[in-house]
Chain A
Amino acid sequence: MSSLAMRPCGDFRTSYKQDNTIFETKTIRWFTALVIGLACFAPFILDAYYLTLFIQISYLGIAALGLNILVGFTGQISLGHGAFFGFGAFASAWLNTSFNIPVFICIPMAGFLTMAVGMMFGMPAARIKGLYLAIATLAAQFIIEDFFGRAEWFSGGSAGSMANPVELFGFAFDTDESFYYIALFALVFMYIWGCNLMRSRDGRAFVAVRDHYLSAEIMGVKLNKYRLLSFGISSFYAGIGGAMYAHYLGYVSAEGFTIFMSVQFLAMVIIGGLGSIKGTLMGVVFMVLLPEALEGGVGIMKDTSWGNIPMVVDGLAYIKEMAIGLVIILFLIFEPEGLAHRWQQIKNYWKFYPFSY
């Protein structure tokens, strides 16, 4: 089988090792390498618009991966992820401008700072769960948002703060093309780290805490430690994502990190598939591209004869917003397990095509 480097149709995994690999076959491994390799050439082919979209996907993707570790794998919930994302953004800019620490060190440092903050706000998780925890993390969202507005030494208050571009060995990554590589590297790195985390002892403990906290406890898993740790790791991811966002845009304003952003992160994770690393990215891609696609669709409609009717033109803007909501609702009804599950089903369908069961 391995010499053929092909996957037989159907699920023919015969050993547990096969069950546990990241890349199921050689083909998938080469394909992944190929995609990453091709992605390296993207700046030469694609124009700035698509690069911007990709960079957006990467920093939101990193943050969403963190949220999936928290919500999907550990079964906690957080409505404050957007605020943690913002905290990472401000922290990195603050570390850079106040202490003159190079930006590429600031980004991981901002991650750790956010981790500390996240664990502080994750403490209620030791005691409460479900809806109550959601409300407790909602408080985190508002407290941190308020902090952004007031702490001028940290965030520049309502004026916001400037963030310098990433600089490495005297080379500034200040264009879309160059920053693209940073984004790509960070995304791949964090993605692989997330995959491996979930295959480790700690990853198993997370899933055990989610599925059967009682049996996790009698196996010696310290529940509170893992609940707190999952908040820490998820905030770490949010912090890294936020820091990337800050140094990409060059300017951070407190207004962006509202509850809406937190909910959007949750939507990404749920649409992508709770408890699936791969699905998270699919969810992010979906949530980033959906408004763009709808925007494009509206643009096309405006060019047709429909565009001459003023009511339609006005209405289209509303329809776009509503369509996003509608798509999310439809997703929850028809694909509650997320895009990752749908992807698996599509793969299965083609594997057996045309002779399905």
Chain B
Amino acid sequence: MAEAAAKLEELSPVLSINNIEVVYDEVIQVLRGVSIDVPQGQIVTLLGPNGAGKSTTLKAISGLLKTENGEVTKGDISFMGQRIDSKSAEDVVRDGIFQVMEGRRIIEDMTVIENLKLGAYTRSDNEINQDIEMVFQYFPRLKERTGLAGYLSGGEQQMLAIGRAMMARPKMICLDEPSMGLSPLLVKEVFGIIEKINKEQGITMLLVEQNANYALKAADYGYIMEGGKIVLDGTKEQLLNNEDVKEFYLGGGNETRKSFKNLKSYKRRKRWL
């Protein structure tokens, strides 16, 4: 019993999103009741097609909705037992959630090291230089690149964006499509490093991805989102072996190719809350 309780304690969610609804411009409802739990020290992935509301979920967490005229109208988000859904973006960072935005968004006119120092903006301790060295250990190729960050390749910029997130010493990093625009080899490398950071630094990760294959391999638990709702969730193994997931996200599925007629009549399991 004690063991089970300890296990439960270990897996208690640091971030829990409880049935939130998000409305943009007061008319466009994007999220229709989304609930996600992210346990301490794990990688949780959020998959789904374009427009499912994955990025909106991340923005709701990081407090960026307000800048886009969005609003959480229902439900709540709590991080380590604290409500964060009404906090501003800069306060959420101070609480320990760092978002790596889609499309990297590094500061092109700054050097790599300035970008990293900027990531440590919220900190006031003296260990920033040590942390820069730590980031360089994970991303050795960043160390060789002097000059402006705008001249880095896409993959390196993505690495810089992740490294910049680590500089803030967050408890949790939200990654929005780290594989975007990267070659398959680089995607592999980046995901390898993400897993490594998660294991060695114990940083919890919430990974939003289109590349379901890699995301599911890296993650411990996955949610699949469609049309503003969670339609499926499960552990990595459950999802990897799920016929629907195979068919729609991983390719392949049943060996025989299905006709489109069959696809149309296909219905997904609803997740009721």
Q: Which residues of A are interface residues toward B (Cβ below 8 A)? A: 11, 13-16, 18-20, 201, 204-205, 207-208, 211-212, 214-215, 217-223, 275
Contacts and interface: CB of A to CB of B under 8 A. Distances in A.
Contact of B113 (A19, A205, A220): A19
Contacts of B98: 218-219
A220 B94 contact: yes
A217 B168 CA distance: 13
Contact of B109 (A13, A205, A207, A219): A207
Kindly name the residue among A20, A217, A218, A275 whose own CB sees the greatest number of chain B CB atoms within 10 A. Answer: A218
B93 to A, nearest CB: 4
Contacts of A20: 111, 113-114
A217 B90 contact: yes
A220 B93 contact: yes
A13 B146 CA distance: 7
A50 B222 CA distance: 73
Contacts of B108: 211
Interface stretch (B118-126, B206-214, B245-253): B118-126
Size category, B interface: 20 to 34
Interface string B116-138: 01110110000000000000000
Given A208-B107, A219-B164, 20 more contacts: A16-B111, A16-B113, A18-B146, A205-B118, A207-B107, A208-B118, A214-B64, A214-B67, A214-B101, A215-B101, A215-B105, A215-B107, A217-B67, A218-B101, A219-B93, A219-B98, A220-B94, A220-B168, A221-B90, A221-B118
B118 A16 contact: no
Interface in B128-166: 146-147, 164
A214 B62 CA distance: 11
B176 to A, nearest CB: 10
Contact of A19 (B64, B94, B101, B147): B147
Contacts of A211: 107-109
B146 to A, nearest CB: 5
Interface string B250-265: 0000000000000000
18 contacts: A15-B146, A16-B146, A20-B113, A201-B117, A212-B105, A212-B106, A214-B64, A215-B105, A215-B107, A218-B62, A218-B64, A218-B101, A219-B93, A219-B119, A219-B121, A219-B164, A221-B121, A275-B109
A100 B147 CA distance: 51
A218 B88 CA distance: 9
Contacts of B110: 204, 207
B109 A204 contact: no
Contact of B122 (A16, A220, A223): A220
B219 interface: no
